[in-house]
Amino acid sequence: MLNVHESDVDVMIGLECHVQLNKLNTKLFCGCSSDYQNDPPNTHTCPVCLGLPGALPVINRKAVECGIKVALALNCTIQEETLFYRKNYYYPDLPRGFQISQYDFPLATGGIVHLEGEKGREIRINRVHIEEDPGRLVHKGAIEQAKYTMVDYNRSGMPLLEIVTEPDLKSPQEARQFLNKIRNILEYLDVFDGNLEGSLRVDANLSIEGGQRTEVKNISSYKGAERALLFELTRQKNILRRGKKVVQETRHFDEARGITISLRTKEVEHDYRYFPEPDLVVMRVGGWVREIERSLPELPDAKLDRFLREYGVSPVHAKVLTSNIHLANFFEGVASMIDPAFCTRWIADILKGELNYRGVGVERIAQPDFIDLMKLLEEDKITDHGAIEVIRTILDHGGDVGEIVREKGLLKAEIDETEIAVNAVIEEFKGAVDDYRSGKREALNFLVGQVMKKTRGRADPDHANKLLIGRIED
Amino acid sequence: MSCLEEIEKTFERIEESDLNTFITLNKEGAIEQAEMIDREGDGEGRLRGVPVAIKDAITTKGIVTTCASHILEDYIPPYNAHVIECLLSEGAIIVGKTNMDEFSMGTSTETSYFGPTLNPHDRTRVPGGSSGGSAAAVAAGEVPLALGSDTGGSIRCPASFCGVVGLKTTYGLVSRYGLIAYANSLEQIGPIARTVPGVARLLDVISKPDARDSTQLGSEGGYLDNLTPTIEGLRIGVPAEFFGEGVDPAVSKAVWDMIHTAEAEGAAYTEISMPSVEYSLAAYYIIAMSEASSNLARFDGMRYGLRLEDTGNWHDTFSMIRAEGFGEEVKRRILLGTYALSAGYYGKYYLKALKVRRMIKEEFDRALKDFDLLFSPTMPFTAFKLGEKVNDPLSLYLADINTVAVNLAGLPSISIPAGYSEGLPIGLQIIGRYFEEQRIMNAAYALLGDVEDE
């Protein structure tokens, strides 16, 4: 078996990512609400997104603004004039018989995305364009046996951004890393929620050793992208090893089985008969771009640099903290109240670990709660172990810090309680005190144990230790 | 006379008519509307109680809208076109949907699935097209006002053949929202009436701005208020290319008579040449058919329209429905348009047609810098016989020679009656600058006068 993780061959991967701008309130060309995820089929439709005769599209200005934001964040050049085209093909989920997309004169061209990691590689972006999503086919039962298929047009007309890379990615892992980076940037821009179903779809091109490329379609997750490309890479390597040639073709990724299947061996280029959409006018972005540029938030790479400078966190921690906008904001909120050097470890290592383990986001825990917890730690009122238990409890069941601490008795004992216990133990176990004085060090452990017993474990052992030594040696 | 009585009279006229002007009548709705107007007594509305006929390419909520096609025979739209909303808000009464060439593709109203409309001046002849039903209904006195749509002459041609006034507005004056598209970049909805004031009155109502059409500007109206016969002092250009070889001498003469009348009333005319007009037919048909091939892709029977028994796979079902649902001419234009847009031909046909279009537009711009208006025959001949050209598409396409260039340039132009030849009306076309509908109508009013009161 070949080890596909080692780059023993020259791999070229290019991606075409379709991301749904799912944080806009309305669709791309009509006023229908885009918040359809939990609603019955065909309830978010109108003459425009159903393509009824006579209905006309009107571009959603906000979608263009979001597109420009993303393109700027990917370091692209925004085109002065941009045009919509009709991409003509028949499919039941496409109510007009054409998709309104872009072709010549896309929104933006020529960008760069920096992959994180030791090398910080540059991936070139070919273009970014705006297009509409078709509806969705729902098969009754499994696709092979389905007696009939239903169409849901709720998704029809949702704004998509197509981001096309140059074939600069060198491995399936890098492809996944790239997709994560894109997701991170889009979430920083607040134009995208990567958790929603169907929010990301990817077509990938892969070739090895300068051979023919294959296109893998139907990838719909970050993990899926890596798996599909790993499979495809192995398949191509095996073909080469058998002394054969890879044929150019389109393959379909079967996510459930983790394999790619040939769709058509001869590359039948679809003739989409692109031509400019006559119902929309040429968009001239002009000074608007400068305006949008000024409103751009701090992006992941800049934030990472700033975290290094401003909080003095380690590169590894800075990377973790900026890998997600919510986590970064959470950290900054906490760090405004708590020593950054102290809370970094708690957020980037401990909290992030607990979140990853549960596959949930940082919004599960309220910032003020976390700050309260950090204060307890700083004031030495709770042990590390106790704090972790509080975090786990909140993530699993909710609740507030004060209550959890009280209910579970996680507070360290108050100082005077420990003192009383120390005094009592010295009175009570004179023999042990004498033993310690005569040099039997282990007698101290016995005495600390007794203090812990009297305080029912709430005393801090270190503190009890110090108090005992102080009193005995007086 | 009460509004109801007037509407009932209107329907009597229509039902007695043998012209086949309407596909669908909105009798119940119209009567209900009339009764309401009578109950309310005096009220607001610039077209209050006025019966208006609507070309069946314009979407009407709850009223079958067929586009004269089998594929939409039973289609009831769930929404109103912008112009319909405008009409209703001004109290107009929608009497019904008029006959037309299927999907507006034709010059004679003979490609209608519902049979041809007859010319009221001679029942053996066509009314022109594609808005033949609207023009014939107005000419026959069935209704005073009608809406048509003009992609390459579809308002002006039937206005010319039927002897009425038809205005094709500047591209972008009237919202196309709800107009079932034939060729989006060329077409406009426009008014048809027996008089120029009738046209102005209807234009006031339908030209309101509409945010749902990105290509529309709209206007504040005032066309009727500002309508004054004005021809004195105008500079008129007469392009020789519009009087080319296919033009009937009788038509030429009638149009020249009008030009001389204009001169007698103080206008000055100059014969000019616009050589690129020669290429307008080829450019027009390539652009129109290309857009049509894409526009008509939505008619697959899945969501609305003709439905046949399912074949088990969507591809065959779509094909069957389209094979059955579209007429010959529509299929011809879809095929030609698909061809023109195909890889390898796009540059040769579509892009070239766009270049010609730009040339024509520039030529008009130059001509209209020197002249206020351009005069020409609307159609090269008068109404031809039913069946005479329907099987000869090329000669039919050639009939559009004087109208299509105006659509390519996006300019406004009007067709007004300019006399008769052997009992058949002749049309004069007056072309003006962008958004100068007022100047065009004022000149037309000066030439035509109040021919007849509504």
Instruction: In whole angstroms, give the CA distance from residue B444 to residue B430.
Output: 8
Q: What is the mean pLDDT of chain B?
A: 96
- What amino acid is encoded at A8 in this protein? D
Chain segment A303-342, per-residue pLDDT in tens: 999 999 999 999 999 999 999 999 999 999 999 999 999 9
Residue A4 clears pLDDT 50, i.e. is over it: no
b (16+ CB within 10 A) / e for A259-297? ebeeeeeeeeeeebbbbbbbbbeebebeeebeebeeeee
- What average pLDDT does range A132-142 have in this prediction? 86
Residue-level pLDDT at A142: 66
Q: How far is A294 from chain B (nearest CA, A)?
A: 28
Q: Are A333 and A372 in contact (CB under 8 A)?
A: no
Residue A82 clears pLDDT 90, i.e. is over it: yes
- What average pLDDT does range A193-214 have in this prediction? 90
- CB-neighbour burial class of residue A372 (10 A; exposed 0-12, middle 13-18, buried 19+): middle
Q: Are A391 and A350 in contact (CB under 8 A)?
A: yes
Residue-level pLDDT at A117: 52
- CB-neighbour burial class of residue B450 (10 A; exposed 0-12, middle 13-18, buried 19+): exposed
Residue A118 clears pLDDT 50, i.e. is over it: no
Q: How far is B441 from chain A (nearest CA, A)?
A: 28
Taking Cα atoms as reference points, which of A259, A229, A215, A210 lies closest to residue A5? A229
Taking Cα atoms as reference points, which of B231, B349, B240, B248 lies closest to residue B290? B349
Helix (H) or strand (E) holding A19: strand A11-20
Both tokens assigned to A303: 């934030």
Closest partner residue to B342 (CB to CB) among A52, A97, A273 is: A273
Closest partner residue to B291 (CB to CB) among A56, A92, A278 is: A278
B2 included as an active-site residue? no
Closest partner residue to A88 (CB to CB) among B59, B72, B297 is: B297
Kindly determine whether residue A269 and residue B350, on different chains, have CB atoms separated by under 8 Å: no
- Per the omega criterion (within 30 degrees of 0), is the bond before B130 cis? yes
Q: What is the mean pLDDT of chain A?
A: 90
- Top residue of B187, B289, B303, B408 to mutate, by most chain A CBs within 10 Å, is B303
Instruction: In whole angstroms, give the CA distance from residue B168 to residue B147.
Output: 11
Domain coordinates in residue numbering, chain A: 11-291, 298-408, 415-472
- What interhelical angle do A384-397 and A367-378 show, nearest 10? 170
Number of alpha helices (DSSP H) and beta strands (DSSP E) in chain B? 14, 11
Residue-level pLDDT at A1: 40
B315 in contact with A, Cβ within 8 Å? yes
Q: Which residues of B touch A271 (CB under 8 A)?
A: 342-343
Q: Running DSSP on this structure, what letter comes out for residue B333?
A: H
DSSP A236-299: HHHHHHTT--PPPEEEEEETTTTEEEEEESS--------EE-TTSPPEE-TTHHHHHHHHPPPP
Q: Determine what percent of chain B is predicted with pLDDT higher than 70.
A: 99
Closest partner residue to A47 (CB to CB) among B58, B78, B290 is: B78
According to DSSP, the residues that pair with A85 across neighbouring strands are A101, A276
Closest partner residue to A54 (CB to CB) among B179, B341, B350 is: B179
Q: How far is B95 from chain A (nearest CA, A)?
A: 20
B55 included as an active-site residue? yes
Residue A5 clears pLDDT 70, i.e. is over it: no
Assign A454 a pLDDT band (cuts: 50, 70, 90).
confident
Assign A2 a pLDDT band (cuts: 50, 70, 90).
very low
Between A126-135, A154-163, A203-212, B151-160, the lowest mean confidence (pLDDT) is in A203-212
Taking Cα atoms as reference points, which of B155, B150, B146, B113 lies closest to residue B23? B113
Between A75-89, A382-396, A401-415, B395-409, the lowest mean confidence (pLDDT) is in A401-415
A83 in contact with B, Cβ within 8 Å? no
Assign A67 a pLDDT band (cuts: 50, 70, 90).
very high
Instruction: Map residue A439 onto helix, strand or coil.
Output: coil
Residue-level pLDDT at A120: 74
- Report the DSSP pairing between strands B188-193 and B165-168: antiparallel
- Report the DSSP pairing between strands A214-219 and A249-254: parallel
Q: How far is A172 from chain B (nearest CA, A)?
A: 34
According to DSSP, the residues that pair with B319 across neighbouring strands are none
Chain segment A332-370, per-residue pLDDT in tens: 999 999 999 999 999 999 999 999 999 899 999 999 999
Chain segment A24-50, per-residue pLDDT in tens: 999 999 999 999 989 999 999 999 999
B180 in contact with A, Cβ within 8 Å? yes
Q: Which residues of B touch A280 (CB under 8 A)?
A: 214-215
B67 in contact with A, Cβ within 8 Å? yes
Q: Which residues of A touch B300 (CB under 8 A)?
A: 90, 92, 97
Extended beta strands in A89-212, E state: 98-101, 108-114, 122-132, 136-139, 149-152, 159-165, 200-208
Catalytic residue of the set B104, B130, B134, B276: B130
According to DSSP, the residues that pair with B193 across neighbouring strands are B145, B165
Chain segment B330-346, per-residue pLDDT in tens: 999 999 999 999 998 99
- Report the DSSP pairing between strands B145-150 and B188-193: antiparallel
pTM reported for the whole predicted model: 0.89
Residue-level pLDDT at B452: 56
According to DSSP, the residues that pair with B430 across neighbouring strands are B375, B414
Assign A144 a pLDDT band (cuts: 50, 70, 90).
low
Q: Are A209 and A201 in contact (CB under 8 A)?
A: no
Which bin fits B263, alpha (ψ -120 to 50), beta or left (φ > 0)?
alpha
B108 included as an active-site residue? no
B367 in contact with A, Cβ within 8 Å? no
A368 in contact with B, Cβ within 8 Å? no
Taking Cα atoms as reference points, which of A219, A119, A103, A102 lies closest to residue A168? A119
Both tokens assigned to A197: 């179903």
Instruction: In whole angstroms, give the CA distance from residue B90 to residue B95.
Output: 15
Q: Does domain A415-472 have CATH number 1.10.10.410?
A: yes
Residue-level pLDDT at A255: 85
Q: Which residues of A touch B314 (CB under 8 A)?
A: 92
Kindly determine whether residue B297 and residue A90, on different chains, have CB atoms separated by under 8 Å: yes
According to DSSP, the residues that pair with B414 across neighbouring strands are B167, B430
The phi, psi pair for A252, rounded to 5°, reads -110, 130
With CA atoms as reference, the chain A residue closest to B65 would be A53
Chain segment A258-269, per-residue pLDDT in tens: 898 887 654 456
Q: Determine what percent of chain B is predicted with pLDDT higher than 90.
A: 93
- What average pLDDT does range B235-251 have in this prediction? 95
Instruction: In whole angstroms, give the CA distance from residue A443 to residue B34.
Output: 109
- What average pLDDT does range A237-242 have in this prediction? 93
Residue B392 clears pLDDT 70, i.e. is over it: yes
The phi, psi pair for A465, rounded to 5°, reads -55, -50
Residue-level pLDDT at A408: 79
- What average pLDDT does range B228-255 have in this prediction? 96
Taking Cα atoms as reference points, which of B110, B152, B155, B91 lies closest to residue B20? B110
b (16+ CB within 10 A) / e for B66-86? bbbbbbbbebebebbbbbbbb
- What interhelical angle do A367-378 and A325-335 show, nearest 10? 40
Assign A119 a pLDDT band (cuts: 50, 70, 90).
low
